[in-house]
Structure 1
Amino acid sequence: MANVSHKMTARLTAQHADGRRERSRSSRSKIVAALLDLVGKGEVAPSAARVAEVAGVGLRSVFRHFDDMDGLYREMGEVIEAQVMPIILQPPTGATWQAKLFDIADRRAVVFETILPYRISANLKRFQSPYLMQDYRRMLRLETDTIEAYLPAMVKADVAGAHGLNVILSFQTWRLLRHDQELPVDDAKAVVRRLLGDAIAAMPED
């Protein structure tokens, strides 16, 4: 009888622990989802209290799951990166390097438009966050490497021209067009393609 009682107690204890872990995972997911929702709707620097309010949890719960807001932003970045990285890493199509760059431009329009509010929000905090600054530089290197991988040697030798291509196809240019100049998506894409075409036309023939 005692053995049966012990087994029942152990089973109930395990169920209680499983339920506690599930509630913890649920709360963490709600907190991340709240930050994504707030930033996605234009709140570029929501406070922990605001995140807790939208998530429907207590403020203490936010910092029970995350040591600080930096950790929460890190997880938000991971969610966004998982969404767009397959597009970024997919090899561009096109028979020539020029065609490949135009394909990269079109794909980046999709990626940059997806990440626009989140990247703006992270940029506001990166000067106070070593992690966000490191992640920002990592993404800059990825943007550059993705372009340079398809440039002929003669084009790479034109250092100023190669840097210009990176500027044209950068997130910062997309942010300027969409956020600062408030151009519609199609107009912003047209500007990027025009700049890219003009830059390619001035490049040395491969």
Structure 2
Amino acid sequence: MSKQAPLGDGRRERSRSSRSKIVAALLDLVGKGDVSPSAARVAEVAGVGLRSVFRHFEDMDALYREMGEVIEARILPILLQPPGGATWKEKVFDLAERRAKVFETIMPYRISANLRRFESPYLMHDYRRMLRFESESIEAHLPEAVRADAAGARGLNVILSFQTWRLLRHDQELPVAAAKDVVRRLLGAALAELPGD
């Protein structure tokens, strides 16, 4: 006689499945351009009831937190790879290239979170955490003399920021290749003003 799984296991599996469907629905909606989907719309796309969304997630913040974790897991391998190049300037150019790939991946999700961050302590905290990470990951490759030039170092942060990439791609509607050209041009001009090879 075959043993049947306890009823509790089936419920847990259905619960995990519903939760995954809800997160996938939010990712799908935001990824397709609905940067501020309602909980009702998420429930509809997930094929679950609205109550189910809030049974699994205390509020939309909790759902956005889980979406952020999924996106971060996607981009972490790119971010953690050491930049290539023999000089610090070559490394910064490599970082710029890598950021273009990362920013393209996260753009709709980051825009969506930015719209909500002024109403969400969690999203505001996460926004500031990402800004620190962006800044620190550049500064880690700068010589001391460049780090000491606050205006120069901050200028590099602006050129390589998500906000600059969003402006070029989203607001100015440039194709990826053209946006990369602008960033490289700005970066080249900025680096030429800084000491070192």
Aligned to 2:108: 117
Deviation (angstroms), 1:194? 0.6
1:57 aligns with 2:48: yes
Deviations 1:72-121 (A, max 9, x none): 00000000000001111111010000000000000000000000000000
1:161 aligns with 2:152: yes
Aligned to 2:172: 181
User: Which segments of 5 or more consecutive residues in structure 1 lack a partner in the other structure?
Assistant: 1-7
1:34 aligns with 2:25: yes
Aligned to 1:3: none
CA distance in 2, matches of 1:15, 1:157: 63
Aligned to 1:45: 36
Write out aligned runs for 1:103-142 (5 A): 103-142=94-133
Q: Which structure has the larger Rg over C-alpha atoms?
A: 1
User: Over aligned residue pairs, what C-alpha RMSD do you find?
Assistant: 1.2
Task: Give every structure 1 segment of 4 or more consecutive aligned residues whose post-TM-superposition deviation is greater than 3 Å.
Answer: none
Aligned to 1:202: 193
Write out aligned runs for 1:81-100 (5 A): 81-100=72-91
Deviations 1:34-76 (A, max 9, x none): 0000000000100000000000000000000000000000000
CA distance in 2, matches of 1:87, 1:132: 23
What SS is found at the alignment partner of 1:177?
helix
Percent of aligned positions with the same letter in both sequences?
Answer: 78
CA distance in 2, matches of 1:201, 1:107: 21
User: Which segments of 5 or more consecutive residues in structure 2 lack a partner in the other structure?
Assistant: none
Give the letter for the 2:151 counterpart. Answer: A
TM-score by length of 2: 0.97
Match of 2:13 among 11, 16, 22: 22
CA distance in 1, matches of 2:163, 2:121: 20
**The 10-residue stretch of structure 1 (42-51 or 15-24) with the greater mean CA deviation from structure 2:** 15-24
Query: When the two structures are aligned, how many residues end up with a matched partner?
Result: 196
